[in-house]
Structures are given as C-alpha cells and as structure tokens.
Structure 1
C-alpha cells in the first residue's frame, strides 16, 4: 500500500533586525524533510530592518508549532505571524 502525504501550506510574515545571516538563520530553523519543506520566500532588508514572507508546506499541522518555536528563537527577530 502506497501512503500519500497531504500537505498543508502556511505563510509566515517575518520582521527582524537586518544583520548578516538573518535569512540563513530563518531557513535553517525550518526542518527540511519529506514532512516539511520551504516552497517560497521573499526577504527585503534596508540595513536596519528586514521584512519577509516564508511559505512552508507540512504534512502534519503539529509541525507548525515546532516551526513557530524555532523561528521565535532566532536572534534579532522582532515578530512572526502565521497565516493560512
């Protein structure tokens, strides 16, 4: 029997202090495996503030709380809001 995963998409609005490796820290906070993947992201920084949108797909919605926790642990994060 083949088990097919059904993915739930969620978008995070992320605001933080613009610093070296901020976007890298965001992407590293997302577990990359068959149950969770980044499907899109846009970030803009002005040297002081960075605004971004991160789109992830998860096979298990409980994974979203893990992602939220790991994003909030990023140094320089000001806010993260989840939609969808």
Structure 2
C-alpha cells in the first residue's frame, strides 16, 4: 500500500491504488486481517475518487461561456 494519506492523493493516485487493492482482494491471496485492512483502505480510496470527481464536475459546471460558446473564465465555487 501507498504511504501517502488518502486525503492528500490526487485522483490518479487514488484510482491506481484502488485498482491494486481490488486486484489483491479479487485474487484472495491475503490473510483475513489483511483483507479487512485492504477493504477499509479501498473504501477510503473510493470515497476520495468520488470527491475529486465531484469537485471536477463542479468546476466544469462553473465555466463561463461567451456568446459564441468560447470559455472566458470560471466562477469560483465556494469551498474549493
């Protein structure tokens, strides 16, 4: 597992580790205690990916277009 705290990972980092965690769980070649720890880490990684996607969707929704449909700027999203 990666030593980076989940809440500091980029979307790409979290997704890559989540794929590794899922691979280990699917193979079933880990002890029960380790499986539980992997499952918990996977749940945190999934939540991080979902949060980063929501953040990106909100940013995209705030893009301002001019009359011709060209992006001219963004409106800040509160809390980001």
TM-score (structure 1 length as normaliser): 0.26
Pick the structure with more helix per residue.
2
TM-score (structure 2 length as normaliser): 0.27
Greater C-alpha Rg: 2
Pick the structure with more strand per residue.
1
